[in-house]
Amino acid sequence: MRSAGVLQAEIELLVPFFDVDSMDVVWHGHYIKYFEQARCALLDRIGHNYRDMREAGYAWPVIDLQARYIRGAQFGQRIRVRADLVEWENRLKIHYLISDAASGERMTRGSSVQVAVEIASREMLLASPKVFVAAVERALA
């Protein structure tokens, strides 16, 4: 099992009908949407969300994304999605865990990597902007 990140956020979702496929399980691409929802909650917890990133002059595109499917979620199932911040100084790396809300059974795990890009120049930075690192440090204090 992966070690916990320095900051976490967790959301709970009820799987909607429109997210399931003809096999009555969540279509694989929707898990990425669930990751994103948990990532947004984590960024809110840090105090530097996507709006703040844009206002500071930076975009944070995803450059790597991985998912490992263990057990499919089904329509009407309540799930928990946890996002763990594991790297932030040079890139933003987040680990995810989706589990059944009732039993705690692990269902899907994954990770994403994002890098800062200066919006004005469209240049990728080799280190995270100071404004983002400062927000993480405040959240850790």
pLDDT digits (tens, 9 = 90+) for 68-91: 999 999 999 999 999 999 999 999
Torsion sign (Cα): 17, 21, 25, 27:
negative
CATH superfamily ID and name for 7-140: Hotdog Thioesterase (3.10.129.10)
Looking at the chain, how many residues does it have? Answer: 141
Mean pLDDT, to the nearest integer, of 28-55? 97
Q: What is the pTM of this model?
A: 0.94
Encode 39-71: b = buried (16+ Cβ within 10 Å), e = exposed: bebbbebbebbeebbeebebebeeeeeebeeee
Enter the tokens of residue 115.
């890098």
pLDDT number for residue 43: 98
Q: Look over the chain and give the mean of its residue pLDDT values, rounded to a whole number.
A: 96
pLDDT number for residue 82: 98
Q: What is the domain partition of the chain in residue ranges?
A: 7-140
